[in-house]
Amino acid sequence: MSPIENVSRRRFLTGGIIAAGAVVLGVHYYPKLSSGHRLPHDTNADHATLHPDVYLGIDPDGTVWIVASRSEMGTTSRTTLPLVVADELDADWKRVKIEQALGDSRYGDQNTDGSHSIRSFYDAMREAGATARFMLIQAAAHQWGVPATECETDLHVVVHRSTDRRAGYGELATAAAKLPVPKREELKLKPKSAWRYVGKGQVSYDLEALVSGKAIYGMDARMDGMVYASVEHPPVLGGKVKSYDDKEALKVGGVRQTVPMEPFQQAPGFQPLGGIAVIADNTWAAFQGRKKLNVSWNNGPNETYNSDAYKNELRETSHKPCKVVRNIGDADAVFAKDGKVYEADYYVPLLAHASMEPMVALAEFKDGKATVWAPTQNPQAVQDIVAKELGIAKEDVICHVTLLGGGFGRKSKPDYVAEAAVLSKKMGRPVKVVWTREDDIKFDYYNAVASMYMKAALGTDGKATAWLQRSVFPPIPSIFDVNAVYGDPAHLQQGWTDIPYDLPNLRIENGPAKAHVRIGWLRSVANIYHAFAIQCFTDELAHAAGRDPVDYLLELIGNPRTIDFRGVEYPNYGASMEAYPWETGRLRRVTQMVAEKSGWGKRKHGKGTGVGIAAHRSFLTYVATVVEVEVNDQGEVRIPRVDTVLDAGLVVNPEATRAQFEGAAVFGTSVVRTGEITATKGVINQSNFHDFPVARIGEAPYETKIYIVDSDAPPAGVGEPGVPPFVAAFCNAIFSATGKRVRDLPIAKLGFS
Amino acid sequence: MIQVKVNGVEQSFDGDPGMPLLWYLRDVLGLTGSKFGCGVGLCGACTVHVNGQATRSCVTAMRDAAGKEVTTIEGLENNGLHPVQKAWKQINVPQCGYCQVGQIMQAVALLNSKKRPTDHEIDEAMSGNICRCGTYQRVRAAIKAAAGEMT
């Protein structure tokens, strides 16, 4: 057994890291302790009397400190993970204080992306709580001279029932801190019947702050002596400043100076884009100064990029044989025979994240160290890129994580944080970089534009006897390697190589596409275009076969079984196939349930109304959605109702989960209605919410009903899995209502509004 | 010199009269509750009340705010939470929360002019406020809950 100790205390004793000494106004995340030395990475949990684990500390007044190491962008993970600790500890939630971790590898992975916060940290949170609970029980047993096995916990107290003795966690903390930290094998986790919070859930710890304007986002970070910066980026990816004239910019009141920034080297990665920064006394002056800059650019090779031509290229590629990524039987042999063969092309354009809070970061470089405050999903990547850009050690980058005004994957890429750090070093004072909405839309890491070619042969009974699908899209690895043109397994797995249909002949291919803009993760990522193609093509085949779409979908999914991925590179979202097998029975169940809950085939639909269904597994969660639409003679589309059934295994926080799936329907609405980013000569055409519209209140579904399957399977994702089936079901509903097929998104281009 | 009353306190401003009220509130006064979302009055995150009217502070120049009374989320209620904020809590509206201050300020203005708004009236009044997380059905429910409380 090891004595109570932790990384940061050890570091303190050896004097490894010295406090940066920054005085911060407005960033009050980390209340200072009244006594003792404090390192910049320390948490209150680290300094608590009982501190058996990096995530947890208990003070003699009974306060339980729980560290949230994942970023909060609206999914409530900052609340839900601590809730797991509190449950296993038997702690009173009212006495829990959550503190946000800095970027620090001692917390393991902190990239809040890929819908895996609960899945990957559920066990660690339980162990943290169970460890402290074990020690508190031991301390009480010692004190009372009774066997620990006779003691148990109730809400925030240890109890010895036969002698009717009770001791609060606070009063036991000091004694417990003197005991050895138990090994994992000694821990006894609570049975499900004793769970207090898991499965019942809790509203956000920050709810009061969120409705009162007191919540601190990256945009709200302030610091004494800071200046503001706005950066004019090269309009074409990879472009460079040829020359610039800042005379007029410097005349703007409040503008201090301009600073040229280096373009990125080789592949963009998370490096700053380069350009000219305008430094000013306030945000507005920086924006105004930028407008007066006169910059001429060397655009570089991406100047040839035009979205219309690129779409045709993708489509042409998809009509030719490509790289085979999965094969069963011989689809071509079936296509060559007589019989009915159906083909269709599907297309989804580039999509922008457009989180409500544009990119923003505050940085101070001082005494060879950098301290940043950023709304980031990925604080350790912040440390990496800032260290690289400034030529300092990763340990000398302190990344404070504020609340995020939305993320959706964009804020996993810390180029904007690196900008602030670089500028702070150049200016010798704290710099806050603020992106405009136009910067956000024009310099995003877009969800890939994708073209999908689908082909199927139907037998006399209408069932598919052979199936071919080809996707072509510029892959995400292209941001790190400009020569990457094929889809990588991590994104081909997203609803493509794992098509869950029971088909005797199946071939799945992927074709090459060169990226001309930065491609990145966006909520649900490749699942959006893959599920769109497969689930809409399925609906087309159902109608071609004269079958009910739900029956047809269930028939394609086939009998409950575990999909065999031998011979296929299938990462399963980083989870083991043993713990998270691909079970078609679970997809069947959510499909059957959503048909029942939505009244499929039972409710009457008048002229111009229709329903569509789609089912999809992503991020290890099984989801089926029915969307109901009304379309009038002018092509105006309303969505009166959405029904979604999900099986995400154990759901820790049902309330937050419902909110995520309600939100996913709205996010998907934006994708279908108006989501489109295009480029002309390498320059992005859209700039703000007038030309990249997202769903407003009257355009969003009027009512989204969420049903959660009660499951004992291990926890899976909830942030992203709602989007892909919604997108396809919405398009299928439009066909049902109008007879018009949606194969190209967005529908705004097809005359719908 | 521009005089403006913010949350009941008289303020004077001698900077650029073209500076939007939003940046004056945020960068000069340090009132960061009102948010920057688009800068052109398209998203509503910056919504405040000017003489009681819901106003996009990002496109309201300081010269146009001169002599007026501005209320931000910080000054919406002196004692605890406004009934609309309470309803927002009760319905658990926010996800990331960034747009919610603007949504709340817009909803308060709506309910001040319309005690029992219909669905259509709610959609009309709230159509200028974007929520990218997609909390709209809860926004509507919270407005109805608040309408019940405020009468």
Across A632-654, average pLDDT? 98
* pLDDT at residue A338 tops 90: no
| Nearest residue to A110 via CA among A85, A150, A73, A142 | A73
pLDDT of B56 higher than 80: yes
3-state helix, strand, coil in chain B (%, to 5): 40, 15, 45
Contact A356 B32 (CB under 8 A): no
Handedness of CA B53, B56, B57, B62 (dihedral sign): negative
Instruction: Give CA torsion, residues A272, A277, A282, A288, to 10 deg.
Output: -120
Q: Which of residues 108-127 of B touch A (CB under 8 A)?
A: 119, 122-124, 126-127
Instruction: Confirm if B111 and B27 have CB atoms less than 8 A apart.
Output: no
| Residue A355 pLDDT class (50, 70, 90 cuts) | very high
Which pLDDT band holds residue A604 (cuts at 50, 70, 90)? confident
Question: Which residues in chain B are contacts of A200 at CB distance < 8 A?
Answer: none
User: What does CATH list as the number for A307-352+445-750?
Assistant: 3.30.365.10
Average the pLDDT over B112-116 and give the result.
96
Assigned token pair, A29:
């995340």
Which pLDDT does position A39 carry in this prediction? Answer: 73
Whether residue A606 is predicted with pLDDT greater than 50 in this model: the reply is yes
pLDDT grade, residue B151 (50/70/90)?
Answer: low
Q: Of B32, B39, B89, which is closest to A207 when you measure between CB atoms?
A: B89
Per-residue pLDDT of A495-547, as tens digits, reads: 999 999 999 999 999 999 999 999 999 999 999 999 999 999 999 999 999 99
- Please name which of A480, A731, A487, A462 lies closest in space to residue A613, comparing C-alpha atoms: A731
Pick the CATH number of A218-300+359-434 from 3.30.450.20, 3.30.365.10, 3.40.640.10, 3.40.1190.20: 3.30.365.10
- Asked whether residue A214 carries a pLDDT value surpassing 80, the answer given is yes
Give the pLDDT score at A339. 80
Chain A 212-231, CB below 8 Å of chain B: which residues? 212-217, 219-220, 222, 228
Nearest to B88 among A211, A288, A697 (CB): A211
Range from A20-34, A590-604, B38-52 carrying the lowest mean pLDDT: A20-34
Neighbouring C-alpha atoms within 13 Å toward the C-beta of A148: 12
Q: What are phi and psi of A23, to 5 degrees?
A: -95, 120
Question: pLDDT class for A21, splitting at 50, 70, 90?
Answer: very low
Interface of B with A in 66-95 (CB under 8 A): 72-74, 81, 85, 88-89, 92-95
A436/B140 CB distance under 8 A:
no
* Chain B CB within 8 Å of residue A662 CB: yes
Say whether pLDDT at A156 is over 90. Answer: yes
Per CATH, A218-300+359-434 and A307-352+445-750 having the same topology is answered: yes
Beta-strand ranges (E) seen in A489-584 are 506-511
| Mean pLDDT to the nearest integer, A662-676 | 98
3-class state of residue A48 by DSSP: coil
Give the architecture-level CATH label for domain A7-207: 2-Layer Sandwich (3.30)
Worst-scoring range by mean pLDDT, A170-179, A193-202, A601-610, B9-18?
A: A601-610
User: What are the backbone dihedrals phi and psi of residue B33, each rounded to the nearest 5 degrees, phi first?
Assistant: -65, -40
Residues of chain A with pLDDT > 90, as a percent, come to 93
Whether A745 has a pLDDT exceeding 90, the answer reads yes
Give me the amino acid identity at A12: F
pLDDT for residue A11 is more than 60:
no
Residue to test with chain B: of A112, A211, A672, most B Cβ within 10 A = A211
Q: Is the pLDDT of residue A321 over 60?
A: yes
CA A518/CA A268 separation, integer angstroms? 8
Contact B73, A213 (CB under 8 A): yes
Annotated domain spans of chain B: 2-75, 83-150
Q: Does B26 touch chain A (CB under 8 A)?
A: yes
- Nearest to residue B97, comparing CAs of A280, A214, A114? A214
What's the rounded mean pLDDT across residues A84-111? 97
Q: How confident is the model at residue A38 (pLDDT cuts 50, 70, 90)?
A: low
- Identify the residue with better confidence: A10 or A651: A651
* A25-39, A189-203, A468-482, B49-63: least confident range: A25-39
Surface of A (342-361) touching B: CB under 8 A: 354-358
E strand spans, A543-620: 609-618
Provide the phi-psi class of A635: left if phi over 0, else alpha when psi is between -120 and 50, else beta.
Answer: left
CATH 1.10.10.10 fits B83-150, yes or no: no
The segment with the largest mean pLDDT, out of A6-10, A305-309, A604-608, is: A305-309
Fold category of B2-75 in CATH: Ubiquitin-like (UB roll) (3.10.20)
Which pLDDT score, from 0 to 100, does residue B149 have?
79
Q: Name, in order, each residue with C-beta under 8 angstroms of A388's C-beta and a sequence gap of 6 or more.
A: none
Are the C-beta atoms of residues A458 and A334 closer than 8 Å to each other?
A: no
Are A525 and A475 spatial neighbours (Cβ–Cβ below 8 Å)? no
SS3 A242: strand
Give the pLDDT band of residue A19 (cuts 50, 70, 90): very low
What's the whole-number average pLDDT of chain A? 94
Closest alpha carbon to A549 in A728, A340, A750: A728
Q: Which A residues 667-686 touch B at CB under 8 Å?
A: 667, 669
* Token pair belonging to A398: 């302190």
* Model confidence at A18: pLDDT above 50: no
Instruction: Read off the tokens for A262.
Output: 């280096």
Contact: A406, B134; criterion CB under 8 Å: no
> Do residue B89 and residue A73 have CB atoms under 8 angstroms apart?
no
Quote the CA–CA distance of B112 and B144 in Å, as a whole number.
13
